[in-house]
């Protein structure tokens, strides 16, 4: 290909490729305290086979601003040993209750045992990296266990 034909082809690629770019997502390994997050999670089990999960977020800490709070439920089986498909990912609606953002979901207990709440942001420590997002996962199993222990007392 001659250089006269190469330049227009490269321009077309430069225009088309940015629309095809994918963002890189990173699950943060830092603890709630290290990320300066302030939230409470409670699980209510009325013994009907379903549970109600409530997350109350007072401060998003180092993740400000958070653009999504999602409920994620991975599949039971792994995908060729390389991770899991998701059985369900759904955005949770946030409501203001005083100075807290509150989200609720009512789901089957079996699903809640695998579920996590993910706080998602494009910022970390107030800095934004292009085509990058971060998430902090809150596993629900821990809170189910705490709910069960309260019921036994």
Which pLDDT score, from 0 to 100, does residue 21 have? 56
pLDDT band at 8 (very low <50, low <70, confident <90, very high): very low
pLDDT band at 110 (very low <50, low <70, confident <90, very high): very high
Q: Does domain 22-152 have CATH number 3.40.630?
A: no
Q: Mind listing the pLDDT tens digit for each residue in 65-92?
A: 999 999 999 988 877 767 778 899 999 9
Domain extents in the chain: 22-152
pLDDT band at 34 (very low <50, low <70, confident <90, very high): very high
Instruction: Choose from 5-9, 37-41, 124-128, 142-146 the range with maximum mean pLDDT.
Output: 37-41
pLDDT band at 22 (very low <50, low <70, confident <90, very high): low
Beta pairing partners, 57: 39, 101
């Amino acid at each position: 290909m001659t250089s006269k034909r190469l330049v227009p082809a490269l321009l077309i690629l430069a225009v088309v490729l940015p629309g095809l770019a994918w963002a890189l997502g990173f699950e943060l390994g830092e603890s709630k305290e290290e990320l300066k997050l302030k939230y409470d999670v409670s699980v209510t089990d009325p013994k009907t086979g379903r549970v109600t999960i409530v997350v109350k977020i007072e401060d998003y800490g180092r993740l400000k601003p958070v653009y999504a709070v999602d409920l994620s439920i991975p599949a039971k089986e792994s995908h060729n040993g390389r991770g899991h498909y998701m059985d369900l990912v759904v955005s949770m609606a946030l409501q203001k209750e005083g100075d807290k953002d509150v989200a609720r979901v009512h789901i089957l207990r079996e699903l809640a045992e695998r579920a996590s709440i993910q706080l998602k942001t494009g910022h970390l420590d107030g800095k934004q990296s292009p085509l990058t997002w971060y998430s902090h996962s809150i596993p629900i199993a821990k809170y189910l266990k705490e709910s069960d222990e309260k019921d036994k007392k």
